[in-house]
Each structure stands twice: as C-alpha cells, then as structure tokens.
Amino acid sequence: MKSLHLFSLLLSYPTQDLQAVCSEIRDRLSADKSLPPDTAKRLHPLLTRLAASDVYDAQEAYVELFDRGRAHSLHLFEHVHGESRDRGQAMVDLRQRYLDGGLEPQGNELPDYLPLFLDYCSTLPDPLARETLAEPGVVLIALAARLAEKQSDYSALFELLCDIAGLEMDEEAANSLPPAEDPETLEELDAQWEEEEIRFTADAAPDPNAACPQVSAILDRMRAPAPVDTANQRN
C-alpha cells in the first residue's frame, strides 16, 4: 500500500511543491492496481482544485477546514481524548509503534496526525496496512460523513480510505464521535480550545462529553505494539 503515501501528501498543508506534483499523483494513483479502480476519478475534483488554485487560497481553505475547530481535525486522538492526559500517553505509545517499525517521525507534527499515520501504513505489507488503517475506522468514517455534509472535495479522499480499509459507511459509525461544531467567532474558538479544569474526586459523576466506548476501544488498538508479520519472518 505504498500509495497511502500519496494520500498523506494530499492531506498535508498545500504548498507549491504539492501543486507541482498533482498530475504525477493522479498518474500513480491510476496505475496502482491495489487501489479501487475509480480512485483517480473520485479524487479528480480535489486534485484539479489543488493544482489550479492560488496557493494562498488553497492554504486558507485548508486551515479553515482542518485547523479552525475540532470537527474535522486531522489529529486522530483528539476526537477521542480531546486535550486530556490520556491523549499524551496515547501519543507516546503510537510514536513507539513508529519507532518499532523503523521509522523516526520528523518535523513538529504529533504522532496522531493522520498524514503521518498514513505514511506509517504505507510502509507495511498490504494486508497489514489495510488492517492498521482500519484501526481508527470510526474516526475515518465520521470525518468522511462530516466533510461530505460540508460538500468538501476532501470527503472523497476519506471515503477512499474507508474503502481501502474495508470499512462500511454506516450511519451509526458516522455519528459515533462526540459532536463538535466549528466555532463561528474568535471567542468561540478560544472557548473550544480552552483547557478543561482537572478535578480529583472519589466519586466523579459520569462525563457527558466522554468519548464513545466503541471509538476508544478501536483507537486503543493503535496504541498497542504493531502485530508481528509472521509470514515475512518465515521468509
């Protein structure tokens, strides 16, 4: 699944370098027989817009979509742990999984940044790559649904990731993440990112904003050590 690296590029912050290779990305996606045969066709609107847009317009649209609020965040654990302490340990565990796979994450991005996770999956053998990609499946499904609702051309990319991972786009999974609305004002933006007060009590009341147990269980598997590819070891 080396082409998952191409999906990683398309989900990264737009640059002139990315614009210059959109045609090559299209050709490589078309030639990859391991992908759905209509992959390039489904990504045509996104590839065309990225290649033809003014780079500053493309960057502004990207930030507005993925960085303004939590609803479409590309940081996987954010949809489950928010800014809680649990997310920190999840980061450590996932980074160790990358290191165990012989990868040293570069740059300032956190380990749960989806393009980085896709790059990791692209280094795995095909069956293991699909299995690993399916681990945060409910997040991918929910993001695909949210982006489709906004009529974003990025929605096709997430739908393709779901197809590659063998995930079913059902309504229950699409609505399994805690609700998150993009802020309309700077005050709402500050409030959404404000760190919650930490309380230590013996009998804490249930948190109405806690993550769905189904989501937490799936993402917990991302924190676990990578499964051993016994077939390759025997060879």
Residue 69: domain span: 4-192+209-226
> Is residue 76, in this structure, part of any structural domain at all?
yes
Q: How many domains does the chain have?
A: 1
Over residues 40-66, the pLDDT tens digits come to 999 999 999 999 999 999 999 999 999
**Dist. CA 148–CA 153, nearest whole Å:** 8
pLDDT value for 179: 62
* 3-class secondary-structure state, position 75: strand
> Is residue 155, in this structure, part of any structural domain at all?
yes
> Is residue 199, in this structure, part of any structural domain at all?
no
Cα-based distances in Å from 32 to 40, 68, 80, 94: 10, 34, 33, 28
pLDDT value for 102: 86
What's the whole-model pTM score? 0.75
**Dist. CA 138–CA 18, nearest whole Å:** 28
pLDDT mean over 22-51: 96
| Cβ pair 79, 70 in contact under 8 A | yes
Out of 21-25, 74-78, 146-150, the most confident range is 21-25
Cα-based distances in Å from 160 to 2, 57, 81, 128, 235: 15, 25, 25, 17, 32
> Is residue 78, in this structure, part of any structural domain at all?
yes
> Is residue 233, in this structure, part of any structural domain at all?
no
> Is residue 200, in this structure, part of any structural domain at all?
no
Mean pLDDT of the chain: 79
Out of 42-51, 110-119, 223-232, the most confident range is 42-51
Bridge partners of 75, per DSSP, are: 113
End-to-end CA separation in angstroms for the chain: 20
pLDDT value for 192: 47
pLDDT value for 216: 45
CA-nearest of 144, 148, 146 to 136 is 144
User: What are the tokens at 194?
Assistant: 């404000």
pLDDT value for 48: 97
Tell me 15's DSSP state: -
| Cβ pair 182, 147 in contact under 8 A | no
pLDDT value for 83: 58
> Is residue 202, in this structure, part of any structural domain at all?
no
Over residues 171-214, the pLDDT tens digits come to 766 666 666 565 555 454 455 445 443 332 333 333 434 444 44
Over residues 61-96, the pLDDT tens digits come to 999 999 887 889 999 888 775 555 666 777 888 889
> Is residue 203, in this structure, part of any structural domain at all?
no
**Dist. CA 48–CA 45, nearest whole Å:** 5
pLDDT value for 4: 96
